């Protein structure tokens, strides 16, 4: 079964609008991915929160490899530091 499509000015206008919307969506998503906009207001991987407490929170991204995980765990253990790990995907 083939769809019988005729080029009318209404169909051409709809096609142009769809192309413009898809291009705009692609631009917005690619910009967010490339520039880290998913974390608004944060320009780097180091963030700061004003607090009266003397605390530090660390996060580790081991998406591609767990090459350094054992070293990190040994260091945390050596200094009796507490940590929370969020585990997803194949690591569960």
Could you read off the pLDDT of 40-84 as tens digits, one per residue?
455 555 567 778 888 887 776 666 677 888 888 899 899 998 887
CA dist 14 and 12 (Å) reads 5
> Does residue 35 register a pLDDT over 90?
no
Tens digits of residue pLDDT in 43-53: 555 567 778 88
Q: Which residue has the higher pLDDT, 4 or 68?
A: 68
Helices (H) and strands (E) in the chain, counts: 2, 0
38 pLDDT above the threshold of 70 = no
Angle, vertex CA 56, rays to CA 54 and CA 58, nearest 5? 175
Instruction: Report the pLDDT value the prediction gives residue 63, as an integer from 0 to 100.
Output: 64
């Amino acid at each position: 079964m083939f769809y019988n499509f005729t080029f009318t000015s209404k169909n051409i206008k709809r096609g142009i609008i769809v192309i413009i919307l898809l291009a705009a969506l692609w631009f917005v998503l690619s910009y967010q991915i490339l520039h880290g906009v998913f974390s608004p207001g944060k320009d780097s991987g180091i963030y700061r929160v004003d607090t009266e407490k003397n605390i530090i929170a660390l996060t580790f991204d081991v998406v591609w490899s767990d090459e350094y995980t054992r070293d990190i765990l040994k260091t945390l253990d050596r200094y009796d530091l507490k940590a929370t790990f969020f585990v997803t995907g194949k690591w569960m």
